Amino acid sequence: MEVWFPMVNQSRMRGSVEPLKLGSVRRQRPGVRRVLTIGGLRRTVQLGFAGFIIYIAVLQAAERGSSTAVSPEAFCPFGGLEGAYRFITSGGQTIPHTHLSNLVLAAAFLVTAFLARSAFCGWICPLGFLQELTSGISRLLQRRVPAARSIVAAVSSRGKPLAALDRPLRLLKYAVLLWSLVGAAYFGVMVFRDFDPWAALITIAAPSLGIGTVVLTVTLVASLFVDRPWCRYACPLGAVGGLVARMGPIYLKRESEHCKGCAVCSRRCPMGLDVHSATTIKSPDCIGCLECLESCPREGALDLRLGLPGMGR
């Protein structure tokens, strides 16, 4: 069974549902209407959540040491997954520093991943946004400053042999996931906590020189050369989201009879997926950002569809 997704189907309609065309409309919209695109909406949502996290970080720093201090761990969905795993595998034991909010966030994360293709990663996660922001600044500098262009070109050229490691390195995040969950269940503590750039980010207003801060710094430096390196290679939360999203009802489909093979979609994909050569985007690394769909210049070449796994997709 396969049904057309009425919001974004660009060229083919069934029934009387009017489609919203998303193809190449973005650059044609002047002024405030520029925001009324998928990309504009995504940036607005990302900015809103980044602002919230900055507020929490400042609050946490201001109240540090007091009994009413905001706990940074309380805002981590992955803490909820670790806590739930420990609870289930140990017959009811919990992990210190986890809260009810962790479980609520974890549940919301899983539902969003299932229904909207890991949209937490693509639309909400402030760490993902920060990486995109860093990559955007890098691209801007490369366009405007010849020296920056030369440096990035030199580093990229030296790092070219590493491109062969891209696929195997993407499996690393599943190892991190396994280690985090099994470690939390076995030792009863968040073993991943000290390495977590998300934890370093949420305590950024009162930074400490821990491993998490080093991981965050390395991630941001790497973002100057590679889009979303943490999400691609190491994020255990993204690993869970991607696996859940694969079972979800929404998927991206490329129609080869409309596609001209320009690969604009692949170049815009922040997760480095080969959209232009796929028929259905099945990769668990897809974060549902819809950059590919919005950037595609051909009507009907890329569609977002509803359909159950294994049934015509």
Task: Give the number of residues in contact with ligand SF4, rule: CB under 6 A.
Answer: 27
Nearest to 286 by CA among 49, 76, 121: 121
Assess 281 for contact with ligand SF4 (CB under 6 A). Answer: yes
Assess 260 for contact with ligand SF4 (CB under 6 A). Answer: yes
**Letter string b/e over residues 32-51, b meaning 16 or more CB atoms within 10 A of that residue's CB:** eeeeebbbbebbeebeebbe
Assess 22 for contact with ligand SF4 (CB under 6 A). Answer: no
DSSP-derived 3-state class of residue 275: helix
Nearest to 75 by CA among 94, 93, 52: 52
Please give the Cα distance from 173 to 232 (Å, whole number): 8
| Closer residue to ligand SF4 in complex, CB, 215/264 | 264
| Closer residue to ligand SF4 in complex, CB, 120/192 | 120
Segment lying near ligand SF4 (by CB under 6 A), choices 155-163, 166-174, 232-240, 271-279: 271-279
Give start and end residues of each alpha helix (H) in the chain: 38-62, 77-89, 100-116, 119, 126-144, 146-158, 166-170, 172-187, 197-202, 211-222, 229-233, 236-246, 264-268, 291-295
> Residues with Cβ < 8 Å from 226, sequence gap 6 or more?
135, 232, 272
Given 298, 303, 305, 307, the residue binding ligand SF4 (CB under 6 A): 298
Assess 228 for contact with ligand SF4 (CB under 6 A). Answer: no
Segment lying near ligand SF4 (by CB under 6 A), choices 5-13, 61-69, 72-80, 259-267: 259-267
Question: 131: which 2 tokens?
Answer: 């990486």
Assess 8 for contact with ligand SF4 (CB under 6 A). Answer: no
Assess 125 for contact with ligand SF4 (CB under 6 A). Answer: no
Given 78, 275, 305, 307, the residue binding ligand SF4 (CB under 6 A): 275
Shortest spacing between CB 125 and ligand SF4, in angstroms = 13
Given 254, 284, 305, 307, the residue binding ligand SF4 (CB under 6 A): 254
Segment lying near ligand SF4 (by CB under 6 A), choices 13-21, 44-52, 185-193, 267-275: 267-275
Assess 286 for contact with ligand SF4 (CB under 6 A). Answer: yes
Do 72 and 97 meet the contact criterion of CB atoms below 8 Å apart? no
Please give the Cα distance from 10 to 66 (Å, whole number): 55
Could you list the residues that contact ligand SF4 (CB under 6 A)? 252, 254, 259-265, 268-269, 271, 273, 275-276, 281, 286-292, 296, 298, 301-302
